[in-house]
Amino acid sequence: MTPKTPLLSVSGITVRFGGLTAIDNVSFDVYPGELLGLIGPNGAGKTTMLRSITGVVRANTGNVTLAGERLDALPIERRIRRGLSLSQQLVKPLRNISLIDNVALAAGAHKTLSPLRSLMHVSQADEKARALQMLQSVGIAERADQLPGTQPLGVLKRLEMARSLALNPKLLLLDEPLAGLNSREANALADTIVDINRRGVTIVLIEHNLGEVMRVCQRLVVLDNGRRIADGEPRAVMNDPEVRTAYLGGDNLSASAVKEEEHA
Ligand SMILES: Nc1ncnc2c1ncn2[C@@H]1O[C@H](COP(=O)(O)OP(=O)(O)OP(=O)(O)O)[C@@H](O)[C@H]1O
């Protein structure tokens, strides 16, 4: 049964960019231990939602509560200290240091929140050991000493996830981690996301790959044109007429994703 106290509460969030309302009075909760899918057609407001949770974008109205604490007034780095971590679509590791040092740097940054001081931490054995654990948890420990520049996209995505995990988050926000991967790689990375979740990390997953979303998520929240149009058990949500209209009325990619799911 779903526990009653949410880890994250998003309440009445509205975000406007000039005359455009990207998020329109959206509320939803995320419960401890959940793997929640946040889905919707292109431009629905998913990334803006994640950015307003982390504080990259300031909401015009509404509030965000993590583990009972209001985050609205806090800058990004203090939200991270409170337990939020955002894994972004664009994978940008430091190219001239090894995978393990990239992760150790993120772990050090968590401690000091100063890039320079965290660089000094990189050599410390405990952070290396922890960084190796993170690489193990995303399945790329055997590449620990290699440079990012030589790695395929799937490995870079796992590296980005390991860096996010190094912040020791209560809540991990994943923005389209499967984008650009072939179906076998996407399937394997989705399994890794499930493993991370099973080890106790609560996850919000933004993803257009609806087949994988349906396979791994326990609950879905659907946005369309900045509004929340559904929240519930994945199969029920995908059968919701408003959700089907949102996808099928949108671009062909989204429509074909729904059709793929129907044939899965
Ligand atoms: N910084 C910004 N300035 C102006 N408009 C923005 C900005 N960021 C997002 N938008 C607009 O807000 C709306 C929601 O965008 P957002 O990127 O959050 O959608 P999304 O659901 O993540 O889309 P996608 O699935 O295509 O990544 C879009 O109309 C987008 O053009």
As given in the structure block, the two tokens for residue 196 are 């991370």
Q: What is the DSSP letter of 150?
A: G
Q: Is 42 in the pocket of ligand 1 (CB under 6 A)?
A: yes
Specify whether the CB–CB gap between 108 and 97 falls below 8 A. Answer: no
What is the model's pLDDT at position 248? 74
What is the model's pLDDT at position 116? 54
Q: Is 40 in the pocket of ligand 1 (CB under 6 A)?
A: yes
Q: State the Cα angle at 202 between 199 and 208, rounded to 5°.
A: 110
Domains and CATH numbers, the chain: 1-83+169-264 (3.40.50.300), 93-168 (no CATH)
Q: What average pLDDT does range 175-189 have in this prediction?
A: 94
What is the model's pLDDT at position 76? 87
For ligand 1, atom 5, name the residue with the nearest CA. 17
pTM score:
0.88
Mutate to test the pocket of ligand 1, among 10, 42, 47 (most ligand atoms within 8 A of CB): 47
Q: Tell me the percentage of the chain whose pLDDT exceeds 70.
A: 86
| Atom number, ligand 1, closest to the C-alpha of residue 208 | 25
Task: Say if residue 200's pLDDT is above 80.
Answer: yes
Mutate to test the pocket of ligand 1, among 10, 13, 20 (most ligand atoms within 8 A of CB): 20
Q: Can you tell me the ipTM of this complex?
A: 0.97
Q: Is 251 in the pocket of ligand 1 (CB under 6 A)?
A: no
124 pLDDT tier (thresholds 50, 70, 90): low
Task: Say if residue 189's pLDDT is above 70.
Answer: yes
Q: How far, in Å, is the centroid of ligand 1 from the Cα of 143?
A: 35
Top-confidence residue, 221 or 74: 221
Q: What are the tens digits of pLDDT across the range 97-120?
A: 999 999 988 876 555 545 555 555
Top-confidence residue, 80 or 70: 70
143 pLDDT tier (thresholds 50, 70, 90): very high
Residue type, 228: R
For ligand 1, atom 2, name the residue with the nearest CA. 17
241-to-63, 79, 82, 257 alpha-carbon distances in Å: 29, 37, 38, 16
Q: Is 6 in the pocket of ligand 1 (CB under 6 A)?
A: no
Q: Is 44 in the pocket of ligand 1 (CB under 6 A)?
A: yes
Q: What is the rounded CA–CA span in Å between residue 206 and residue 220?
A: 10
252 pLDDT tier (thresholds 50, 70, 90): very low
What is the model's pLDDT at position 92? 78
Q: Is 22 in the pocket of ligand 1 (CB under 6 A)?
A: yes
Q: How far, in Å, is the centroid of ligand 1 from the Cα of 175?
A: 13
264 pLDDT tier (thresholds 50, 70, 90): very low
